[in-house]
Amino acid sequence: MAMSFFDQFASPSYLGIPLIAIAIALPWVLFPAPSSRWINNRLITLQGWLINRFVNQLMMPLNVAGHKWALLLASLMVFLITINMLGLLPYTFTPTTQLSLNMGFAVPLWLATVIIGMRNQPTVALGHLLPEGTPIPLIPVLIIIETISLFIRPLALGVRLTANLTAGHLLIQLIATAVFVLLPMMPTVAILTATVLFLLTLLEVAVAMIQAYVFVLLLSLYLQENV
């Protein structure tokens, strides 16, 4: 029983063909396409307003050079939110519970911010490795610590997203199993547990959106240091 709880995180396959590509491509099919009409429907209007608000807030601390990333970061956030929300539906697979996928997003984007900083302003980029006013005996130690913290950033991005979604899915499955087990024996306790499950599901919906926002927000902060 304990091992079956983790079966939901296994990449699905059919006739030996992995289906994770379909799970990744499905969100793009669900997005409403822009119309050529002057007045859009309510769904497209709401989607455009939310994306505009997010982009304005995300790009406000960045200079003009960083605004080139607006389309990429906005698309990434919408994509992550959609995948995370679809993963809360029954009998679905959440690709963002796979550390390999999250690292595939985190490492190239983090590396791009570092390369931009080293190309455009190498002195400032290297200056982040040594805080101003550091005593001379501490300089080698601080450089090593800051270098390690720099390379840990993409790992922290991927692990944070994976751990939060995995823990939420496991907790929902554990409580749902408890509800089914308790229902024949103690219906009152089962109803109370089902109420907790409903509240936890609402919390997981918020976590799915917040973690996608945090992922993109941290990428924008890394970009802010290098542009």
What is the predicted pLDDT for the residue at 211?
A: 92
Token readout for 221 is 């902060």
User: Angle of helix 187-226 relative to helix 99-120, nearest 10 degrees?
Assistant: 20
* Distance, first Cα to last Cα, the chain: 51
What is the predicted pLDDT for the residue at 152?
A: 93
Do the beta carbons of residue 173 and residue 5 sit within 8 Å? yes
Of 38 and 159, which is predicted with more confidence?
A: 159
Q: Under DSSP, is residue 14 helix (H, G, I), strand (E, B) or coil? A: strand
What gap in Å lies between CA 122 and CA 190, rounded to an integer? 61
Closest CA to 193 of 181, 202, 204, 205: 181
Do the beta carbons of residue 111 and residue 157 sit within 8 Å? no
pLDDT at 6 over 50: yes
How do residues 18-35 score in pLDDT, each as one tens digit?
777 777 887 777 776 666
Q: What's the average model confidence in pLDDT over 195-207?
A: 92
Of 121 and 16, which is predicted with more confidence?
A: 121
How do residues 158-187 score in pLDDT, each as one tens digit?
999 999 999 888 898 889 888 988 888 888
pLDDT at 1 over 50: no
Do the beta carbons of residue 216 and residue 77 sit within 8 Å? yes
The percent of the chain in helix, strand and coil, each rounded to the nearest 5, is 80, 0, 20
pLDDT at 7 over 70: no
How do residues 59-94 score in pLDDT, each as one tens digit?
888 888 788 888 899 889 988 998 999 888 888 888
pLDDT category of residue 98 using cuts at 50, 70 and 90 = confident
Token readout for 36 is 């050529």
What is the predicted pLDDT for the residue at 203?
A: 93
How do residues 100-134 score in pLDDT, each as one tens digit?
889 999 999 999 999 988 888 888 878 778 777 77
Do the beta carbons of residue 112 and residue 66 sit within 8 Å? no
Token readout for 135 is 């005593």
Residue located via tokens 């539906």: 89
Q: Side chain identity at 201, as an amino acid letter?
A: T
